[in-house]
DNA sequence: GGACACCGTTGATCGACGTCAACCACAAAA
DNA sequence: TTTTGTGGTTGACGTCGATCAACGGTGTCC
């Protein structure tokens, strides 16, 4: 009695139960039974080309998105032209939560490489999370995690020095690559120095200099966007010594 | 057939339907019918003395809190002793959302003056928001608003100069006092210069100097913690001129 | 292959904010 | 009233990171 899988504009219908990102994504920790219900929830997949936006500040809020492949940055713009990267997102992470409060997105989400997301219509999500307890709880956890993450960034921006910020950034990237089955020590950054700087509240030259310094000190090897961490505990130590900061 | 209102340790049982903070708090926008159900949800009130903590980082997460009276700060601590204020909260605002993700609080919530909160047991909240659509939606909005707010702070910390940060802070306070029926132009800050500095990523001396500068320029009148805004549009102008920043 | 962007690196200089220190204002206690 | 403590202000000086500028590497489009 099951209807045929509908063909969507952008290709295959998403399926959480078949997806190898379950452990990183919204369905984490849900029962197999609940998982099957998620397949109803998640709409089409959508492909976004590098530098294209998934949504822009001011767009009406209709759905949240799970990153199926690729990576994104989110940024906010001030009237005067200044902008700030508020986060980098990788596979399995959820985009668009900022839109719920005002029913309008409050930042831009831009693909750092050709990417693909699963579209999760928000109305449906609320509806289903009234029925599926596991989904409700997971969704709340995802939102809460975003809040905790943001507090970490505030800590970083408010009280760390340039090299500490970059060290924290690299360790965070390493940890997230590891969670995705990649090497903890060797990875490829998808963002420019300018974007890293914007995220860390630094100018690109400062980011570049900090990279060079780390290289001199044998902490990492840097070749453009290719990073190899040579001394992870050295990086961690940088974070612990209270080095005056601001 | 209604049971008598139970007497709680800390005094009166909270009642959303009777509360004059509805428009600022979790129940905002909910129907009268739904509102009555909220009275079941909200547990006892709890009083917190100035400088006492409502919860501390590491405490098991059991409830979220709505501020009934008074005000709070939240802060995070790093191992090395550095700490950072992540927010100031006023009446009607919700505390504790950081705890959902790890089932443990990730920051400290400390009363800036003698205060009172309504305790909202989290299990009950999830349960009831499966039944009451309006509650579910409002709760999601509250979480999302927190995320948007944090992005604003990241913007401030990452790309504004000292005086811009303080101007943004004052305008934000003014706006929140106004929403609570107080004067937009004249108010009493409950936090020290050190706490403001920690929140804004500045040292207390820098905060103090910025206040003095504003006073010289006739933008505000400052007498210790008592602030009078003399030229709000002047403060706003400070934010728009892109003044180089970092 | 050559030309052109774009991105990244490095150096020299400057300025905003941190640091250190002294002093002042106000409130609670003696 | 004086005392003591906490919080706030102001000045002199130092430093970290921004700014300005030149140059080098890498990839893409003719």
Residue-wise pLDDT for A101-137, tens only, equals 999 999 999 999 999 999 999 999 999 999 999 999 9
The nucleotide whose C1' lies nearest the CA of A195 is C7
A241 contacts B80? CB cut-off 8 A: yes
* Residue (of A31, A49, A59, A141) closest to A93 by Cα position: A141
Chosen for mutation from A155, A168, A171, A195 (greatest number of chain B CBs closer than 10 Å) is: A155
CA A221, A224, A226: angle at the middle one, nearest 5?
60
Tell whether A157 lies on the interface with B, counting CB pairs under 8 A: yes
102-141 in B: which are within 8 Å (CB) of A?
Answer: 102, 106-107, 126, 129-131, 133, 136-137, 140-141
pLDDT at A228 over 80: yes
> B1 or A51, which is more confident?
A51
CA→C1' distance for B89 and D5 (Å): 28
A145 touches chain B (CB under 8 A): yes
Quick: pLDDT tens for B127-186.
999 999 999 999 999 999 999 999 999 999 999 999 999 999 999 999 999 999 999 999
CB contact under 8 A, A82 and B242: yes
Show the tokens assigned to B25.
């708090």
B238 token code pair: 């400070």
The three-state DSSP-derived secondary structure of B96-144 is CCCHHHHCECCCEEEECCCEEEEEEEHHHHHHHHHHCHHHHHHHHHHHH
Whole-number Å distance between alpha carbons of B82 and B59: 20
Q: Which of residues 174-233 of B touch strand D (CB under 7 A)?
A: 192-194, 204-205, 207-209, 211-212, 222, 224-225
pLDDT bucket at A205, cuts 50 / 70 / 90: very high
Task: State residue A127's pLDDT score.
Answer: 96
Residue A84 CA and nucleotide C19 C1' are separated, in Å, by 29
Around Cβ A203, how many Cβ atoms within 10 Å?
15
**Is B216 part of the contact surface with chain A (CB cutoff 8 Å)?**
no
Token couple for B62: 């059991």
C-alpha to C-alpha distance for B168 and A226, rounded to whole angstroms = 38
Q: Does B205 touch chain A (CB under 8 A)?
A: no
Q: Which helix (H) or strand (E) holds B222?
A: strand B220-223
Quick check: helix, strand or coil at residue A85? Answer: strand
Rounded CA separation B189/A96 (Å): 34
Report d(CA A230, CA A211) in Å as an integer.
13
Optimal mutation site among A34, A151, A243, interface B, most CBs of chain B within 10 A: A151
Q: Which residue has the tokens 């690299």?
A: A170
Q: Would you state the pLDDT for residue A244?
A: 43
Give the Cα separation of B219 and B212 in Å (integer). 10
The count of other CB atoms within 10 Å of the CB of residue A18 is 10
Backbone angles phi, psi at B10, to 5 degrees: -95, 15
Distance CA B134, CA A140 (A): 16
Please give the share of chain A, as a percent, with pLDDT higher than 70: 92
- In this complex, which of A142, A151, A242 lies closest to B107 when CB atoms are compared? A151
Contacts of B245 (CB under 8 A, 6+ apart): A82, B159, B160, B161, B164
Helix (H) or strand (E) holding A238: helix A232-240
Q: Where are the alpha helices (DSSP H) in chain B?
A: 32-41, 99-102, 122-131, 133-159, 162-179, 193-200, 204-216, 232-240
A171-192 exposure pattern, b = at least 16 Cβ within 10 A, e = fewer:
bebbebbeeeeeeebebebbbe
Reported confidence tier of residue A12, pLDDT bands at 50, 70, 90: low
- In terms of CA atoms, which chain A residue is nearest residue B79? A240
B57 Cβ under 8 Å from any chain A Cβ: no
CA/C1' separation A109–D16 (Å): 32
- Nucleic strand C within 7 A of Cβ A242: no
Tell me whether B99 touches chain A (CB under 8 Å).
yes
Predicted local distance difference test score (pLDDT) of residue A82 = 87
Of residues B79, B147, B245, nearest to A150 (C-beta): B147
pLDDT per residue as tens digits for the range A144-180: 999 999 999 999 999 999 999 999 999 999 999 999 9
The C-alpha angle B23, B28, B31, rounded to 5 degrees, equals: 115
Partners of residue B115 on adjacent β-strands: B48
Residue B153 and residue B159: Cα distance in Å, rounded?
10
Instruction: Answer whether A159 touches B (CB < 8 Å).
Output: yes
In angstroms, the CA A96 to CA A119 distance is 10
3-class DSSP assignment, residue B46: strand
Taking only the tens place, the pLDDT of each residue in A60-97 is: 999 999 999 999 999 999 888 889 999 999 999 999 99
Is residue B54 a contact partner of residue B111, using CB atoms and an 8 Å limit? yes
Give the three-class secondary structure for B44. Answer: strand
The predicted model scores a pTM of: 0.93
Calculate mean pLDDT across residues A5-20.
66
**Which residues does residue A137 pair with via DSSP β-bridges, in sequence order?**
none
| Number of helical H runs and strand E runs in chain A | 7, 11
Nearest residue in B to A243, CA atom: B80
If pLDDT is split at 50, 70 and 90, which confidence band does A43 have? confident
Residues in chain B with pLDDT values less than 50: 1-9, 243-246
**Alpha carbons A110 and A112: distance in angstroms, whole number:** 6
């Amino acid at each position: 009695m099951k209807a045929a899988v509908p063909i969507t504009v952008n290709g295959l219908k998403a399926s959480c139960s078949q997806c190898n990102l379950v452990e990183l994504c919204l369905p984490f920790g849900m029962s197999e039974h609940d998982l099957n219900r998620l397949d109803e929830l998640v709409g089409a997949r959508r492909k976004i080309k590098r530098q294209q936006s998934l949504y822009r500040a001011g767009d009406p809020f209709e759905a949240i998105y799970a990153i199926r492949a690729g990576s994104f940055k989110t940024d906010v713009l001030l009237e005067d032209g200044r902008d700030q990267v508020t986060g980098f997102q990788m596979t399995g992470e959820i985009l668009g939560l900022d839109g719920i409060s005002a029913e309008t997105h409050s930042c831009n989400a831009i693909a750092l490489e050709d990417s693909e997301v699963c579209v999760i219509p928000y109305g449906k999500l609320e509806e289903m999370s009234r029925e599926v307890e596991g989904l409700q709880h997971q969704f709340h956890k995802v939102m809460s995690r975003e809040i905790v993450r943001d507090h970490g960034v505030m800590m970083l921006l408010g009280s760390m020095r340039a090299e500490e910020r970059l060290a924290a950034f690299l360790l965070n990237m390493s940890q997230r690559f590891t969670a995705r089955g990649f090497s903890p020590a060797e990875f490829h950054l998808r963002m420019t120095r300018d974007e890293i700087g914007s995220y860390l509240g630094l100018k690109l030259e400062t980011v570049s200099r900090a990279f060079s310094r780390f290289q001199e000190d044998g902490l990492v090897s840097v070749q453009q966007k290719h990073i190899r961490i040579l001394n992870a505990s050295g990086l961690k130590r940088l974070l612990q010594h209270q080095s005056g900061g601001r």
